[in-house]
Amino acid sequence: MTITPELRSEIADLANAYALAIDDGELDRWPRFFASDCLYKIIAKENFDSGLPLGLLMCDSQGMLQDRMEAFSKLNVFGPRSWRHMLGAVYTTGSEKEISARTNFVIFETLAGKDTHILCAGEYRDIIIREHGALKFRERLCVYDTTMIPNSIVRPI
């Protein structure tokens, strides 16, 4: 089973819809992009390249995604800001049953009253499956190159 052009555009839609949900601040939608059995991890390239497991943020269940989303929305203390995900083209391999995808990203962050800066740059390394008819991330690794995170990452990326 190869990846058809239709499937390819469905995958691109998933990547874009994900980024927009976050940039639009609709974090309650975030967990729904993931499969019921899932792994989400933001990991520094230095750890990824050295085979070190530490994530900047790691959720390995729907429950953890939910808890994170609630913490970001209600518990953590941070100032107002806007985010823009800039995505590269999605590069897909694998089969329809289990799609591997790689997508470059840059996130611009604008804090109230300050200059826009780059929060981080890196790539998504995804494993995508179909669950109940819809494409979902079974695994989404956000491998970031940025050596020094400017202060904090206050949302999922």
Partner 1 sequence: MGEAPLSWPDGNDRVPYWIYTDQGNYERELEKIFYGPVWNYVGLECEIPNPGDFKRTQIGDQSIIVVRDAEGGVNALVNRCAHRGVKICEQDKGSFSEIMCPYHQWTYDLKGNLQGVPFHRGVKGNGGMPADFSMADNGLDVLKVHVRNGGIFATMSDKTPPFETYMGNRILGYYDRELDGRSLSLLGHSRQRIGANWKLMLENIKDTHHASLLHVFFVTFGLFRVDNDSRVEMDDTGLHTALSSIRGKQELNDGTAQMRSFDSNLALNDPSLLDVVREFDGDQTVVMQTLWPNVILQQQSNTLATRQIVPKGPNSFELHWTFFGYEDDDEEMTARRLRQANLMGPAGLVSMDDGQILERTQEGILAHPNEQGVVELGGRGTDDADHMVTEVALRAFYKGYRNVMGL
Chain positions contacting partner 1, by CB under 8 A: 42-44, 46-47, 50, 52-64, 66-68, 71, 74-79, 147-154
SS3 at position 113: coil
Q: With CA atoms as reference, report the closest residue to 123 among 146, 101, 148, 142.
A: 142
67 vs 131, which CB is nearer to partner 1?
A: 67
What are phi and psi for residue 67, nearest 5 degrees?
Answer: -65, -40
**Residues facing 143 on adjacent strands:** 43, 123
What are phi and psi for residue 123, nearest 5 degrees?
Answer: -140, 145
Closest separation in Å from C-beta 38 to partner 1: 12
6 vs 115, which CB is nearer to partner 1?
A: 115
Neighbours of 53 (CB within 10 A): 10
Closest separation in Å from C-beta 46 to partner 1: 6
9 vs 114, which CB is nearer to partner 1?
A: 114
62 vs 92, which CB is nearer to partner 1?
A: 62
Could you give the CA distance from residue 123 to residue 144 in angstroms, rounded to a whole number? Answer: 6
